[in-house]
Amino acid sequence: MPITITPVQGDFVARVTGVDLHRPLDTADRDAIVRACDAYGVLVFPGQLLEKEELVAFGAAFGEVDTTLQKKLLNHVQNRLGLDTVTDISNIDAEGNVAGPEHWQTITTVGNRFWHSDGSYKHTPIRYSILNAVTAVERGGATQYADLRAAHDSLDDDTRAWIADKVGVFWSHNTRDWLKIPDSEAERSAFAKARWPLIRTHPGSGRKVLWCDSKVFAIENMPLPEGRALAHELIEHIGQREHVYSHHWQPGDLVMADNRCTVHRGRRFDHAERREMRRVETTDDSCSLGPA
C-alpha cells in the first residue's frame, strides 16, 4: 500500500498510513513525510510501536537527533531508557513502577502542561518532536497541538502591527520557575536565554507564524510586567480551540510535530495510572537572534 496522507482538520494535522516505520524509510517516503509536515504541521502515524533504536533511526532520517536537554538536565533526574537520544516522557520511576506525584520524574513532566514549542528557549532549537506512546491512560492525558500559522493569521490588525518588530526573550525555566519547582542555580542557568522575533516565517511553507510560548520571560524594550502580560495574552490567543487539535493517545501512536509552526501541551491525568511515551527530537538549522 502506498503512503497515504489524510487531512484531519483542514490544513492542520494529517494521518499517515501505508508506511512501516520499523524499517528504514526510502527516500520517496521520507520526502513525502517532510512535505506533509510542511503542509500540516502535525502528523499522526497510528499503530507504530517502535523499539527505541527504531525510533531514533526514524528521527535521524530528518536531521541530527538532539541530545542537549537529555545530557544537560534530564540524565540527572533519571535515565531509565539509557540513551541520550531518547527522552522518557512518563510517570515511571527507575525501577519501572508508576512514580508518585511527588517523584521528580512526575514533577518534571508537569512543565509540559503549558503551551510550548520544544526547544524554543535554545539558540539552536528543535525542528521535529516525535512522540511514541507505549501505554496510554484511560482518561485525560491528551496532548494538544496548536497551529501557530493560523494563530498568526487570526490576529487582529492592531495586535499584529504592535508585535511586528518585537522580540521575545525565552528562558528554559520560565514555567518551572512559575510552578515553584526548586531547581538549582546551575540548572536554571544551563541554557542562556534566547531571543526570537515574535513573528517568524516557517521555511517549509513560507507562512508567517506567531512565535510565542510559555517560555517567554520578557519582551525586549517593554517593562517586564507589560511584556509578560502581552506574552500571556498571545498564548491565550494561540490556545483558542479553532487553532487546536487534541490527540487522545492509543498505545503505538506516533506523532511527529514541526516545532517551527506549532506549540503543544500535555493534559492532566490521574498520576496513579501509567502513562509512558518516548520522545526523539531533531535539531533545527535556524538560530535565535543570540543570547539575552
Site for Mn ion in 75-114 (CB under 5 A): none
For Mn ion, how many residues bind (rule: CB under 5 A)? 1
- Which residues within the stretch 112-141 sit at the binding site for ligand OGA (CB under 6 A)? 112, 118, 129, 131
Binding status of residue 284 toward Mn ion by CB under 5 A: no
Name which of Mn ion, ligand OGA, none residue 279 binds, using a CB cut-off of 5 to 8 Å depending on partner kind: ligand OGA
Alpha helix positions (H), the chain: 27-40, 52-60, 68-72, 104-110, 148-153, 157-163, 174-178, 185-188, 224-238
- Name which position in 117, 143, 174, 259 contacts ligand OGA (CB under 6 A): 143
Contact between 176 and ligand OGA by CB under 6 A: the answer reads: no
**Whole-angstrom Cα distance, residue 162 to residue 154?**
14
DSSP label at 17? E
Residue 258 lies near Mn ion (rule: CB under 5 A)? no
Kindly calculate the radius of gyration of the chain based on its CA atoms and give it in whole angstroms: 18
CA dist 123 and 70 (Å) reads 16
Alpha-carbon span 144 to 267, nearest angstrom: 7
Shortest distance, position 118 Cβ to ligand OGA, whole Å? 5
Site for ligand OGA in 269-288 (CB under 6 A): 277, 279
Q: Does residue 118 touch Mn ion according to CB under 5 A?
A: yes
Give the shortest CB-143-to-ligand OGA separation in angstroms. 4
Strand (E) or helix (H) holding 283: strand 276-283
Output the residue with the shortest Cβ distance to Mn ion.
118
Site residues, Mn ion (CB under 5 A): 118
